[in-house]
């Protein structure tokens, strides 16, 4: 084998390694998307069996993160990537961290089922959970899609959606607090609803984080501490 062939071989193997870790990240993302759907559904249907399933799968997601991180570290140590390859590895490490945190929040949502089952007839706040859950579920899907397709326009849309989710959450929270303020009885139950809403809202933040990592990956820009409009501006100027 001549020198060029060898280099080509190394390079191809390296690309396969990068592709494998990228695929695994998307696989983990798909798993967490399902977790989020199941967690919201477990609350809406007061299904404690489904809630237990969600919580038991958290372990698998944690394991996924460990495996992907180890692979990223191995690539950094042995392949010493630079430029866009380095950015891909660093972005993946951050993306799996956000995916893992979305999984944590899904478990927290599922945990609320226990306290809610006591009063099956009382379903105030459920419309809000369903609505916010669907919205954030879509955001997570879009953020992962932006990563899969290296699409910064999609990333910008996710950042804008997070603003809408934040305001939907704020409105829902206001309604729940007004319920508590008017009738003390059942306050602990409404708090469960509030915890669920809050966890769902945080998932939206993590979806936005993933979108920001995509921008870093594709454009090399750090847009973590700017709002959606500023993010769009910086990308367009770049």
Secondary structure E strands in 55-106: none
By three-state DSSP, how is residue 222 classified?
coil
Residue by residue, DSSP assigns 98-161 as HHHHHHHHHHHHHHTHHHHHTTTT--TTHHHHHHHHHHHHHHHHHHHHHHHHT-HHHHHHHHHH
Q: Which is nearer to a copy of itself, 64 or 147 (CB)?
A: 64
CA distances to 72, 92, 207, 220 from 18, rounded to whole Å, are 9, 10, 22, 18
Minimal distance in Å, beta carbon 120 to a copy of itself?
20
Lookup: tokens for 199: 């966890």
Minimal distance in Å, beta carbon 77 to a copy of itself?
5
Q: Which is nearer to a copy of itself, 31 or 191 (CB)?
A: 191
Residues that bind a copy of itself (CB under 8 A): 59, 62-63, 65-66, 69-70, 73, 76-77, 80, 82-83, 86-87, 90, 93, 97, 177, 180-185, 187-188, 191, 222, 224-225
- The length of the chain in residues reads 238
Q: Which is nearer to a copy of itself, 75 or 137 (CB)?
A: 75
Q: Which is nearer to a copy of itself, 126 or 195 (CB)?
A: 195
Minimal distance in Å, beta carbon 177 to a copy of itself?
5
Minimal distance in Å, beta carbon 180 to a copy of itself?
4
Q: Which is nearer to a copy of itself, 79 or 131 (CB)?
A: 79
Minimal distance in Å, beta carbon 76 to a copy of itself?
6
65: CB partners within 8 A, 6+ apart: 28, 96, 97, 99, 100
* C-alpha–C-alpha distance, residues 136 and 206, integer Å: 10
Q: Which is nearer to a copy of itself, 1 or 184 (CB)?
A: 184
| DSSP class of 46 | T
Minimal distance in Å, beta carbon 2 to a copy of itself?
26
Q: What is the CA radius of gyration of the chain?
A: 20
């Amino acid at each position: 084998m001549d020198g060029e062939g060898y280099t080509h071989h190394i390079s191809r193997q390296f690309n396969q390694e990068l592709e494998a870790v990228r695929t695994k990240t998307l696989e983990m993302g798909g798993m967490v998307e399902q977790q989020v759907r199941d967690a919201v559904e477990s609350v809406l249907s007061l299904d404690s069996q489904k809630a237990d399933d969600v919580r038991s799968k958290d372990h698998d997601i944690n394991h996924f993160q460990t495996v992907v991180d180890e692979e990223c570290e191995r690539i950094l140590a042995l392949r010493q990537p630079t430029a866009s390859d380095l950015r891909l590895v660093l972005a993946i490490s951050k993306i799996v961290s956000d995916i893992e945190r979305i999984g944590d929040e899904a478990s927290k949502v599922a945990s609320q089922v226990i306290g809610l089952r006591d009063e099956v007839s009382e379903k105030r706040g459920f419309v809000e959970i369903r609505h916010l859950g669907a919205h954030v579920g879509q955001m997570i899907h879009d953020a992962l899609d932006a990563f899969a397709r290296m699409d910064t326009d999609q990333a910008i849309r996710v950042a804008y959606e997070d603003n809408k989710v934040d305001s939907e959450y704020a409105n829902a929270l206001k309604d729940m607090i007004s319920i508590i303020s008017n009738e003390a009885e059942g306050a602990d139950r409404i708090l469960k609803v509030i915890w669920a809403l809050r966890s769902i809202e945080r998932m939206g933040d993590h979806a936005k984080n993933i979108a920001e990592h995509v921008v870093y990956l594709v454009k090399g820009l750090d847009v973590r501490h700017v709002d959606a409009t500023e993010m769009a501006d910086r990308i367009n100027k770049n």
